[in-house]
Amino acid sequence: MKPTTLDEAMSLTKKFTSRPTNEELLKLYGLYKQATEGDNEGERPGGFDFKAAAKYMAWLNFKGMSKEDATAAYLDLVEQLASKYLA
């Protein structure tokens, strides 16, 4: 089942029966943020907030990608992960 909107895709990820890998979760996060907000213009988190820094970098990986392309890539990724993580 391929989601057709970001909302459908988000709902589908909540139905996963097991947790995607950290790499997959970061890619989902980065694509979602790029699709909804565009390029990451924020300050890089400092110190020892490794989780925030990883999320920042995941979003930064998609800098320059249009919101439309990021949405399409996010929907494709959710579909791919659904085949792996839905019972």
Q: Does the global pTM surpass 0.95? A: no
Per-residue pLDDT of the chain (87 residues; tens, 9 = 90+): 689 999 999 999 999 999 999 999 999 999 999 999 999 999 999 889 999 999 999 999 999 999 999 999 999 999 999 999 997
Which residue ranges make up each domain of the chain? 6-85
Domain 6-85 has CATH 1.20.80.10: yes
C-beta of residue 53 within 8 angstroms of C-beta of residue 44: yes
